[in-house]
Amino acid sequence: MLARRAAREIALILFSQLEEDVKKYATTDFDKIIVNSVRTLTNNAYEELKLQSTAVVDMIQYIDEYEANHPTNLARPIESNDIPVPIPLTSDMTGRLTAIADVCEKAFSALEIAEMTALEENSETKKYVRKITKAYVDKKDIIDETIKRLAVGWDFSRLVKTDKDILRIAITELLFVKEPPVKVIIDEAVELAKRYSTEDSASFINAILAKVVKENDLD
């Protein structure tokens, strides 16, 4: 995982913990929130893994029962051990396996982020989180006003907090950090929306950021 991708994920959790008056925070406060954000990320991954482990146990039980009750094994002598039999891969099992794979990916991502952030005080990940956060604090009024103006037909106060924070991070990068390529910033924002919000949110965020790019001639 790229350090900046990890930084954006941490920044999203960090932003969710900020109060409206962001200018009251000091740099040391942000460092504490970064640590809490990483801890939140890993704890969420742990809880999801624990939950999905139940699905794994259920599938094992289902397969064992399917094998034992298969005509091939029912026809064998009682004292014989069951032998493996073909099993259809049902849509239900496919859905469960997909959910488990998604959780595992989140867990690996969370652990990688935790390692990248914790191993070195001045890691690239931590530096970029600080850069995004500081730029947002300095330019909050401009960034939030940009969202209000471009989200035509939407009440800013009623926007989903996660969607608002993803937009804040991306607009901060586009207008004030200006380091990563524009396409990367937008793609990462859309991926964050898919991971932490909804498909509709991803489309909404993509549309708003496209307006930001056009308005500021960032192509």
pLDDT at 21 over 70: yes
pTM of the model: 0.69
| pLDDT confidence of residue 119 | 47
Which band of pLDDT confidence, cut at 50, 70 and 90, is reported for residue 177?
very high
Alpha helices in the chain (DSSP H): 3-17, 27-69, 71-74, 91-118, 124-150, 161-172, 182-196, 199-215
Q: What's the pLDDT score for residue 121?
A: 57
Q: Each residue of 44-85: pLDDT tens digit?
A: 777 777 776 777 777 788 888 888 899 888 888 888 888 888
Residue 41 phi/psi, 5-degree rounding, is -60, -50
Res 89 pLDDT > 70: no
Query: What are the structural domains of the chain?
Result: 10-215 (1.10.940.10)
User: 91-118 and 3-17 helices cross at what angle (nearest 10)?
Assistant: 90
Compute the distance between CA of residue 1 and CA of residue 191 in angstroms, rounded to an integer: 14
- The type of residue at 30 is F
